[in-house]
Structure 1
Amino acid sequence: MAERKAFPLRIDPDLWLAVERCATANLRSANAEVECLLREALKARGVKLSPPKAVKRGRPAKENDDG
């Protein structure tokens, strides 16, 4: 999984409730919603970001043990 930067965030409770409502409406976690909102805000300001690294999902391949 791609490495993520963890940090504490001080945020107005009403603002956090709005983020949680948006996250629920978009079927995301609140953390994913915050990340999406930040990306949208930076894009609107013309800040270029490298594309997010793809996360390989699904079941890992089976290992064949012939021993």
Structure 2
Amino acid sequence: MVRNPQVTWGSAKPSEGDLAVSRVLHFLAMDIHHRADRLRGVDSLLLARINSLVDQLEVDLNLALSEDDE
């Protein structure tokens, strides 16, 4: 492992969360690869509906989840 005040590089042991995300992304990649004909774009009506549902929603991604949320 080489360190200086600005950069750290080397190999890191993946956390359990990293492995879970990696598995989900791998599953999605394989599904897209094998079923590319099923991919559909998001049309403007669906996008407008999504935006109407979340437009006023504020999320602070830096806040920790409460015990009820975990």
Q: Which has the higher helix share?
A: 2
Q: Which has the higher strand share?
A: 2
TM-score (norm 2): 0.30
TM-score (norm 1): 0.31
Structure with larger RCO (C-alpha < 8 A, sep 6+): 1
Instruction: Decide which structure has the larger Cα Rg and report it.
Output: 2
